[in-house]
Amino acid sequence: MRLDDVVEWQFWKLGKNWTTLIMVMFGQVVVGPPGSGKSTYCTGMQQFYKAVGRQCAVVNLDPANENIPYDVAVDIKELVKSSVAAEEHGLGPNGSLMYCMEVLEANTEWLIQKTRALKGQYLIFDFPGQVELFTHTTIVRSIVQTLVKHDYRLTAVNLVDSHYCSDPGKYISALMLSLTTMLQLELPHVNIFSKIDIVEKDGPLDFPLETFTEVADLGYILDRLKAQPRAQRFAKLNVAIADVLESYNFLHFLPLNIEDKDTLVRVANEIDKSNGYTFGHMDIQKFLYAHSSVHATNPDWDITIRERYMEEFKDRSEDGPS
C-alpha cells in the first residue's frame, strides 16, 4: 500500500477474540460566512491536490447549493434538497436549510457510508455558511463529532473575507464569529483571510496586515472603532468583546489568494500539520516544500505578502501600527 493512498489501517480490540479493521480518513471541514469564498476555495484546493498527486474528494453539504463549481463526490442533495423541503413544509430559505441539516444529522450513517466508499481519499467537506448553524444550534458539531468518533482526522478551515480588515466593526464581528465557530466545532482549526489579493479594493488598510492576522493587540482596532460616531454608544461592549477575544488568544489568520501558489502551499501545510496528515505522508509534503518559493517557516512571510498585495505598505515594511 502506497503512502499517498492516504490510508492507515489500525486494529482495535473489541473483545478477547474480536478485532475490526478501521480506515483512518483525513480531511477538512470548510466553514465561513456567506460570500467568504468557500466553494472557490474547495475548487482551488481540489485542483491543487490533484496537481501534487493527492487523491481528493469534495463533499457538498450545502443543500441549497445548485451551482457547484468543483467535482463533487458526495452531495447532500442525494439525501435531501432545500428546495423540496421548502415546498413540502412551507419553509423559508433559512428554515429549509435548518431542516435539511437536521435530516443529515439524523442520517450521519449515510454520510459515513458514502465517504468510506471513496476508499481513503482525502476529504473536503463544504458546509453551508449560515451563521446560525454555529451560533444557535449544535447540528454541525454533532455531525462533525460523529465523524471524529469514526476515525476521521479533520481540521476546521474557517474562511473570512479579507475585506473585513478594512472596517474595524466588521473585523471585530468576524473575530467573534471565528472564535464561536472554533469553540463549537472542537476541532483543530485554521483561520484564513480569503481574497487577500483584493484586501485593499476600497483603499489602504489602517495598519500593516500582520496587525489583523496575528490578533495580538486589539487596542489599535478599538481606537479606530471609537472614532466612528455610530460605534460610540457601544464602546463598553466593544471593549468587553475585545477582552474576551484577547483572553482566549486562539485566533490567528493565514492570508490566501487561491490563485497564488505560495499562499496555497502555506495553508495546505498548516492544515496537514493540524490533522496529522503530514507525519504519515512526508513524500507529498516534500513535494509541496520543493515547489514553493515561500516556505511556511519563512520569517519574512508577512513582508512578502504585504509587498505583493498591499501597495501602500511596500515602503513601510518595518513600520508598526501608527
Average pLDDT, the chain: 84
Write the CA distances from 29 to 156, 182, 187, 191, 260, integer angstroms: 5, 12, 9, 12, 22
d(CA 144, CA 35): 22
What are the pLDDT digits (tens) for 58-71?
A: 999 999 998 899 99
- Answer yes or no: is 229 within a domain: no
Q: What is the pLDDT of residue 254?
A: 96
Non-local CB neighbours of 259 within 8 Å, separated by 6+ positions = 44, 197
Query: Can you tell me the mean pLDDT for 152-159?
Result: 97
Amino acid at 214: E
Nearest 10 degrees: Cα torsion 171, 172, 175, 181: -120
- Answer yes or no: is 318 within a domain: no
Query: Can you tell me the mean pLDDT for 215-230?
Result: 86
- Answer yes or no: is 71 within a domain: yes
- Answer yes or no: is 35 within a domain: yes
**In this structure, are strands 122-126 and 19-31 parallel, antiparallel, or unpaired?**
parallel
Residues 288 and 265 sit within 8 Å (Cβ to Cβ): yes
CA-nearest of 283, 258, 281, 287 to 120 is 281
Q: For a pLDDT cut of 70, what percent of the chain falls above it? A: 82
Query: Can you tell me the mean pLDDT for 292-316?
Result: 60
The angle at the Cα of 286, spanning 288 to 250, to the nearest 5 degrees, equals: 65
Query: Can you tell me the mean pLDDT for 149-158?
Result: 96
pLDDT band with cut points at 50, 70 and 90 for residue 272: very high
Count other Cβ atoms within 10 Å, centred on residue 66.
Answer: 10
- Answer yes or no: is 271 within a domain: yes
Residues 158 and 252 sit within 8 Å (Cβ to Cβ): no
Query: Can you tell me the mean pLDDT for 203-212?
Result: 88
Residue 293 has pLDDT above 50, yes or no: no
CA-nearest of 56, 72, 71 to 5 is 56
Q: For a pLDDT cut of 90, what percent of the chain falls above it? A: 62
The CATH number for 304's domain is 3.40.50.300
- Answer yes or no: is 89 within a domain: yes
| Range name among 55-59, 126-130, 237-241, 293-297 with the lowest pLDDT average | 293-297
- Answer yes or no: is 223 within a domain: no
Cell readout for 110 is 449515510
Residue 294 has pLDDT above 60, yes or no: no
| Range name among 5-19, 252-266, 294-308 with the lowest pLDDT average | 5-19
- Answer yes or no: is 232 within a domain: no
Q: What is the pLDDT of residue 39?
A: 94
Higher pLDDT, 76 or 11: 76
Q: End-to-end CA distance of the chain, in Å?
A: 56
Residue 73 has pLDDT above 50, yes or no: yes
| Residue 31 domain boundaries | 3-217+251-313
- 178: part of which helix (H) or strand (E)? helix 168-185
Non-local CB neighbours of 72 within 8 Å, separated by 6+ positions = 58, 59, 60
Residue 3 has pLDDT above 60, yes or no: no
Residue 27 has pLDDT above 80, yes or no: yes
Total tally of structural domains belonging to the chain: 1
Non-local CB neighbours of 96 within 8 Å, separated by 6+ positions = 63, 64, 82, 83, 85, 86, 89
